[in-house]
Chains A and B, each alone.
Chain A
Amino acid sequence: MSGPDASRSKLVSIEEAAASVPDGAVLGVGGVMDQMVPARFLLALAGRGARDLHAVTVAASLSVDLLVGAGCATQVSCAIVSFEDLGTSRLFRRRVEAGELRFHEYSELTLLNRLSAAMNGLPFLPTRAALGTDILATEGLMEFECPFTGAPLVACSALAPDVSVIHAHRADAAGNVQLDGKHIWHDLVIAKAAGRLIVTVEEVVAEAEIRAAPERTVLPAFAVDAVVEAPRGAWPTTCRPRYEADREALRAWVDAGADDAAVAQLLGRWTAEPAR
């Protein structure tokens, strides 16, 4: 893959970016639990009626649930779908139990290794994690013998999403992306493993602002294909330090999960309204 042209603007509207994700794509999604989910973008995918996506994310609450609830995803690869103290996802559970959603269950590290292998251009990465578990029956994992020590290891084959989307604090039009505060979770692995990368940001800034603090740049322009300005783009999940999770909105989502009509109604409202 040749890098995107660094000189041209990669700014696109959220609708254009959503339209660029083809039906049937393997879609890497950033965020963990109720933190930094590119929710605005996922709602735009729902708005365009995306279908048959395979969502890949490591630890999910709303990210997987939105795509499932909107009928966009028919496959999910991740390690957990839970809203913690707000409850488990009845929506996810119902869809899997009804056979409408194929769930590829990984442990965090086996999935992270699959993505990291893709990120590094390797066919697989080894781990000692998940040995002795039924997780090893999930596709892309295989027990093998260490060529040096003979010890049992798990090979995690490369998994490259066709497209990934993450949310960040700021970028310039060329696609230099910055995060405020330390990057904690898996977003940059999900981002760098993908064939194409869309980044939604709280604000688009001038190139000079990026160059004034290059230590904050987590993705250089050559690694980014599209930038979408999406203020409050992670709502109702957190985008620290700008805003906390909207727990009332998340609670409303979890409660709606028992009933498809309630899910559709909430999705309709969230898609139509600007982010709060």
Chain B
Amino acid sequence: MSDPAIADLMVCALADCLTSDEVCTNGAASFLPVAAIGLARRTGAPALTHIGGAVGVDPRWQELSGSTVGPAYWEGAAALLNHPHEFWPFVGAGRITTIFHRAAQIDARGNLNNSEIHGERPVRLPGGAAMGDTAALIPRVLIWSTTHDRRTFVDRVDYRTCPGYLDRPGQREALGMPGGPDRVVTDLATMDFTPEGRMRLRSLHPGVDLATVEERTGFELAMPPGEVPTTREPTPAESDLIAALDPAGYRFGEFRA
């Protein structure tokens, strides 16, 4: 599939994760998630509550724009949340259910690194913003990645910016953290997690074979029972909605090298 087709398929796969019962929010540079939220609200999850850019509650923005934590994503909101005094208390009290994260490194237990890559020539990354907070306090974490390869999908992250299922089963619970990573949507496949917190293949995108995914994953993926399903493609109506939500093509910018 071409990058644009994969982008739309990923938007659709992320939208399929969302329900009308959730209160979701997004961080910076999160173009595929905000497109997915826009699509879900127009299709399967009309009553989904979005806190745009972690500020504007139930906004009415019509199109994607540059900063996904900027005022454009608060347009038409029913309320604006002050971060220290309103947003974080709602998060701490468990009132926000769902958050989207991406990272430079994602490991077999859903731990994320957006801080530093170790090795002969260490690399400094932009930092995790609030990932370390939201993944510890918000029960449902949806992960996306436009680079399903061994550089991104590593057995163990070099630096843990953001907690997934940590090192072993039960560790999250012992630290008092709710839920955890629930779904991973990449440019090749979708994954979920076993009850023990290990990443498991859930579906392969059309035209992608299992060997490719295994070769491009730096750890052994758990397998679903039976035959691996194929990720569904967007319907023409969904493709039209996505195009209308993002006429400027911000979602494609996530596929830059």
Contacts and interface: CB of A to CB of B under 8 A. Distances in A.
B128 A79 contact: yes
B130 interface: yes
With a 10 A CB-CB cut-off, give which of A33, A108, A247 has the most chain B CB atoms: A108
A86 B69 CA distance: 14
A48 interface: no
A105 interface: yes
B172 A184 contact: no
Contacts of A51: none
Contacts of B177: 128, 131-132
Contacts, number: 147
Counting from the closest, the 10 A-B pairs by CB-CB distance are A107-B132, A129-B133, A108-B130, A132-B163, A80-B129, A109-B133, A80-B127, A96-B124, A82-B126, A130-B132
Majority SS at the chain B contact face: loop
Nearest to A34: B67
Contact of A59 (B92, B129, B159, B175): B129
B64 to A, nearest CB: 9
Contacts of B175: 131-132, 152
Given A128-B137, A152-B176, A82 B70 contact: no
A157 interface: no
B136 A131 contact: yes
A205 interface: no
Interface string A111-147: 0100010000000000111111111000000000000
17 contacts: A32-B69, A33-B69, A84-B68, A85-B253, A92-B124, A97-B123, A109-B133, A128-B136, A130-B136, A132-B171, A132-B175, A133-B132, A133-B160, A133-B161, A182-B80, A185-B83, A247-B66
B122 A110 contact: no
Given A78-B127, A132-B177, 15 more contacts: A79-B129, A82-B29, A107-B128, A107-B161, A108-B133, A112-B84, A116-B84, A128-B137, A128-B176, A129-B137, A130-B163, A131-B136, A131-B163, A152-B175, A245-B70
B83 to A, nearest CB: 6
Interface residues of A, number: 49
A81 interface: yes
A129 B250 contact: no
B6 interface: no
Interface string B152-165: 00000001111100
Contact of A33 (B28, B88, B122, B130): B28
B131 interface: yes
A240 interface: yes
A270 interface: no
Majority SS at the chain A contact face: mixed
Interface in B163-185: 163, 166, 171-172, 174-177
B82 interface: yes
A75 interface: no
Contacts of A134: 115, 159-161
Contacts of A97: 121-124
B161 A85 contact: no
Nearest to B80: A182
A130 B92 CA distance: 12
A32 B66 CA distance: 14
With a 10 A CB-CB cut-off, give which of A128, A132, A134 has the most chain B CB atoms: A132
B229 interface: no
Interface string A164-175: 000000000000
B238 to A, nearest CB: 23
A52 to B, nearest CB: 20
A80 B130 CA distance: 8
A93 interface: yes
B76 interface: no
A127 B177 CA distance: 12
Given A85-B253, A186-B83, A110 B67 contact: no
B132 A82 contact: no
B90 to A, nearest CB: 13
Contacts of B132: 107, 109-110, 129-130, 133, 135
B70 A34 contact: yes
B247 interface: no
A238 interface: yes
B116 to A, nearest CB: 8
